[in-house]
Amino acid sequence: MLESLGLDAQTETVYRDMLKQRCSGTDGLAQRVGLAETQVHEALDRLIDLGLLTPSRETTGALRPVSLEAGLERLLRRQEEDLARRQHALALGKAAAARAVAEYADLQPNTEIDGAERLVGLDAIQSRLEALTRGLTRECLSIMPGGAQSQASLDASGPLDEDALRRGIDLRAVYQDSVRNDPATLAYAQWTAEKGGEVRTSPVLPPRLLVFDGRTAVVPIDPANSRLGALCTSTPGIVASLVTLFEQTWDTATPLETVRRRALHEGISREERELLKLLASGMTDDAACQRLGVSVRTVRRQMSALMERLEATSRFEAGLKAAQRGWL
């Protein structure tokens, strides 16, 4: 029940028993919960690390559990702090990736300099992707922003992904949440998962990237203008930064098979929360829809629904009420 808060079933079982027994000590604990003594000691160490057990003031050398309410609050606070650290690291990774890409933006078309190659034109990009995919030996990581992918892009990726999956290559891809509403892209993502790949989604993503075996990366030269082409680099420092960016994005994304449900206790979905943050920062509807990978109509429909739920007559008022509810 508490696995999402960092407690495995074994540790939760021990915690439950100690909540019932209070300060009775650990004698007979293994027998009561049906676990080996080594497992019990591991669970106790984990509970101490999480702050769910504390030394007893009544019995020397004994442990007592903190109350369930206080324990859950501590677990939630730890997760919030961890999420804040990862988001900060993600922001630093995005900035580093943008600087790295900018340094190589003046490369000549389809020529290699210092381990980086500027690819101009869909044919040049596709040829490089085909060669990199054929040479895969371990894994391919990808971030695919922009919501629904074009049919041409899906058709070009299909044979490459199928060949890699057939050879046992680990494929991990992150799409935007909005692809769940696009039949073609969703079907492709589900097909990838059925073939053995792993797919997750997130409301907002960094620029598009592909990393092959942790050695070579392909990114757009200018994320805002894909016509300028792509940058293919094997520079270790840049590739390592992009791998870190991917892993941080992956950690905060939602598995494709997870059914999205609005958190009733919060009253807002994570897509709606991201929309509020973007608009509150001064971003226009047009800019927000590009960041979320949805249409302007969708952004306006979602905002209208939020205003109705908040009983607000203006976006400014909606922002104030959302902040009062802790949504921002």
Counted domains in the chain:
3
pLDDT attached to residue 29: 74
Judgement on whether residues 130 and 24 belong to the same structural domain of the protein: no
What does the buried/exposed string (b/e) look like for 245-280 if buried means 16 or more CB atoms within 10 Å of the residue's CB?
Answer: bbebbbebbbebeeeeeeeeeeebbbbbbbbbbbbb
Asked whether the beta carbons of 291 and 282 are under 8 A apart, the reply is no
Supply the pLDDT for residue 101. 66
Same-domain status, 122 and 245: yes
Position 18 scores a pLDDT of 77
101 shares a domain with 203: yes
By three-state DSSP, how is residue 261 classified? coil
71, part of any domain? no
Burial classification of residue 183, based on how many CB atoms lie within 10 Å of its CB (0-12 exposed, 13-18 middle, 19 or more buried): exposed
Q: Is residue 262 part of a domain?
A: no
Residue with more model confidence, 233 or 75:
233
More confident residue, 301 or 24: 301
| pLDDT number for residue 264 | 40
| Residues 307 and 276 sit within 8 Å (Cβ to Cβ) | no
Give 50-108 pLDDT, tens digit per residue. Answer: 777 777 776 666 777 777 677 777 777 777 888 888 888 888 888 887 777 666 655 55
Q: Say whether both 44 and 132 belong to one domain.
A: no
Q: Which of the pair, 237 or 311, is modelled with greater confidence?
A: 237
84-109 burial: b if 16+ Cβ within 10 Å, else e: eeeeeebeebbebbeebbeebeebee
Question: Is residue 260 in a domain?
Answer: no
- CA atoms of 254 and 189, how far apart (whole Å): 13
Q: Are 173 and 297 found together in one domain?
A: no
Distance of CA 202 to the CA centre of its chain: 6
Contacts of 125 (CB under 8 A, 6+ apart): 119, 218, 229, 230
Phi, psi angles (nearest 5°) of residue 211: -130, 125
What pLDDT does 323 receive? Answer: 67
φ and ψ of 217, to 5 deg: -125, 150
Q: Would 130 be classed as within a structural domain?
A: yes
Instruction: Kindly provide the b/e burial profile for residues 24-56, where b requires at least 16 CB atoms within 10 angstroms of the residue's own CB.
Output: bebeebbebbebeeebbebbbebbeebebbeeb
Dist CA 248 CA 184 (whole Å): 27
**pLDDT tens per residue, range 174-228:** 998 878 878 888 899 999 998 899 999 888 888 889 999 999 999 988 877 777 7
> Which is nearest to 117 in space by CA: 7, 244, 217?
217
Q: What does the pLDDT look like over 131-177, one tens digit per residue?
A: 999 999 999 999 998 777 888 888 888 999 999 999 999 999 999 88
Query: Do 167 and 308 lie in a common domain?
Result: no
The pLDDT tens digits for 235-292 are 888 999 999 999 999 988 888 877 554 444 456 777 777 777 777 677 777 777 777 7
Q: Which of 255, 282, 312 is the last residue of a domain?
A: 255
Looking at the chain, the whole-number percentage of residues with pLDDT higher than 90 is 19
Indicate whether 311 belongs to any domain.
Answer: yes
Host domain of residue 19: 3-66
Q: Count Cα neighbours of 15 within 13 Å in the Cβ-side half-sphere.
A: 26
Q: Are 19 and 60 in contact (CB under 8 A)?
A: no
Encode pLDDT of 32-48 as tens digits: 777 887 887 778 877 77
pLDDT score, position 32: 79
Backbone angles phi, psi at 53, to 5 degrees: -125, 145
Largest CA distance in the chain: 75
**Residue-level pLDDT at 261:** 46
Any domain includes 284: yes
Task: Look at residues 295, 256, 292 and name the one whose alpha carbon lies nearest to residue 272.
Answer: 292
